[in-house]
Structure 1
């Protein structure tokens, strides 16, 4: 299998190519994932006071605000209790799969509601795994091929076995990805994974697959083939997988096929933040403090989120990290653009959030206003826990 020179992607070759730039966003090809995994951290804009911002030239102000736009759009990932727990489970399962070839490797299914940071958490884990593998084993395999520890593919509602294998070949940019049967693509996918010594295969958006249709059954069978023949840990990400019968056993033929996937797969989940307990309120506060620390606004102050907006942000996000970060990101963009340079209810009331969060907003606001819910730990201070 011929692969592009890894050094070219590190030195920025092909940055002007549209497909190369899109790959960096979609992570649908190995070079895009490599830039995500090995790239340097985004530089944080300097924290300037209003007087300093006013003294900037027009060109410098334009560049400063541009850098803040990019920074606020990429505040995460946050090391939340949910992400920490998930990573510990992922390391347990992945490292325990370092078995000989006669043993079937256990799979993982991350099954959780939207907006809880599933993909973000998995990509954070995959980045650590990629770096660990390169650090321990080197960039090249013993055969002199480039090592790609992680492969990620996404599914659609129309994905069949041939499409799934072709997505793997697209990731590796295999020259045989354009023509062939489903079996041909399967053998080439196995060859790509073996050649690159890939150890983690991430399949995202699994809920798009129509499990009870023939295409879903074919892909489910293919997952078992991967578990048996491919030296990888299979990590599936989706919504409502348990309700779709992925882990259940049944009496009919199709249910029995799906049940085999469940027997070989460990189900993991991610929960939203809750404020029904002291620990839940502490976790929520620590997360707000972490977000607050990363914000680059001239009039930011300690406690801006964790004290003054704790109830408000919980009501607006329903405790979902995705909804919280969307609201904070959009609020920061407006605060920079309008010159408000801080986050408060007056500004955030004009910022739209996702539909699910907005539907739950009124009920949560009433519970917090009446005291039936409390989002802050007792005795919390802006400078600590």
Structure 2
């Protein structure tokens, strides 16, 4: 807490406690209730800042750093397409009263492209509306009972997943005791927990941590698909799902655009496959920005305009991120990946404040090296850490032996997973 508003009111820009872990019910509820509550630093000009006492200058600069570290999630044309499909699928499935298998959704894309944050925001928005529709009561609660209502369950796929560890990860979301349970008991408890808590969407993040050459991982995928018998919308998030092997047993239905999977083979004994119903998934890519067509360039520039509005640099002129060659420069530095752009802007703003530059320029950003080595919670072997484009200085050092004007061979460049609509 700090105080430097009119009336000396507190401005909470430092979290008073540990950050919510979304893979628990309490953590998810706290995330849902507090998302979007961050209060950014007020805008001050340089003359006003200079009049502040030293301590208030320090607090204001700290608040600015917190503002740049907590830039809001800005909708993109790609995320709007994902929202339209995912929100519509979850709502339609939640309103079904027929005992039919609910179609699931797979969201694919490269690392640091905002898949998790986008999906969590969409699911949290659905839950906000769903609990309000039911007056914050669980419509599936048993008579005389007050089962907690959890319309959305968010679960991280274990790094070395097995059927038992996957079931335990789901049950841990609900705080259920999993000691001394064999796999059939775990599966039954998962079914009971999803039903008792009124769960409508089960989100399994980082699903491409599964390796389809391992028997355990194949069993996990069978088990996950069988969860669709529990009348929940299964939402799978992963890096490059088409190239991961998760779709190898499926066939693409050109009529519906969905991927169709045969019934699972290894989980019938647990009561999850009472019929031979096929499992269907919509597959959609949350792609990075592109910079080829006029429409794509306009979308990238509009996104930079949205980012610029949330920055607190006192020498920032209008068009700081969008004028001149800056849009092209930022695209070259980030390859259109929103997570890399956020890191570059955040580190650049801190450098601009520290050096009293108070604006972002290409020479200043050339001094910023974005490194994702050892990123916590990321499995590099599963493609969750993208390649970071080199800075202009680094690239010049690497190509110093080339003749002036000689173009670099780009044949083997990795541009990430291709969009479904092409570049």
Q: TM-score normalized by structure 1?
A: 0.81
Aligned residue in 2 for 1:241: 241
Residues 186-201 of structure 1: matches in 2 within 5 Å? 186-201=187-202
Please give the alpha-carbon distance, in whole angstroms, between the structure 1 residues aligned to 2:350 and 2:16: 27
Aligned residue in 2 for 1:294: 310
| Matching residue within 26, 50, 57 for 1:54 | 50
| Matching residue within 11, 19, 28 for 1:33 | 28
| Matching residue within 19, 36, 45 for 2:41 | 45
Structure with greater helix percent: 1
Residues 155-234 of structure 1: matches in 2 within 5 Å? 155-174=157-176, 176-228=177-229, 230-234=230-234
Deviates more, 1:133-142 or 1:102-111: 133-142
Q: TM-score normalized by structure 2?
A: 0.74
| Matching residue within 246, 258, 276 for 2:292 | 276
Aligned residue in 2 for 1:7: none
Residues 28-177 of structure 1: matches in 2 within 5 Å? 28-39=23-34, 41-97=37-93, 98-142=95-139, 143=141, 144-174=146-176, 176-177=177-178
Query: Is the partner of 1:243 in helix, strand or coil?
Result: helix
Query: Is the partner of 1:358 in helix, strand or coil?
Result: coil
Please give the alpha-carbon distance, in whole angstroms, between the structure 2 residues aligned to 1:120 and 1:131: 16
| Matching residue within 324, 329, 334 for 2:346 | 329
Please give the alpha-carbon distance, in whole angstroms, between the structure 2 residues aligned to 1:333 and 1:105: 47
Over 3 Å counting, the alpha-carbon distance change for 1:179 and 1:249 in structure 2 is closer
Please give the alpha-carbon distance, in whole angstroms, between the structure 1 residues aligned to 2:264 and 2:357: 54
Structure 1 residue 92: Cα displacement: 2.4
Query: Is the partner of 2:79 in helix, strand or coil?
Result: helix
Over 3 Å counting, the alpha-carbon distance change for 1:261 and 1:321 in structure 2 is farther
The C-alpha deviation readout for 1:87-128, integer Å capped at 9, x for no partner, is: 011122222323235200001111111122111211111121
Structure 2 gaps of 5+ residues are 1-14, 252-260, 266-275, 373-386, 397-406, 408-423
How many equivalent pairs are there?
Answer: 341
The C-alpha deviation readout for 1:271-300, integer Å capped at 9, x for no partner, is: 221121111111011001000011111112
Structure 1 residue 340: Cα displacement: 2.0
Query: Is the partner of 2:105 in helix, strand or coil?
Result: strand
Structure 1 gaps of 5+ residues are 1-14, 364-369, 371-385
Query: Is the partner of 2:243 in helix, strand or coil?
Result: coil
Please give the alpha-carbon distance, in whole angstroms, between the structure 2 residues aligned to 1:300 and 1:178: 57
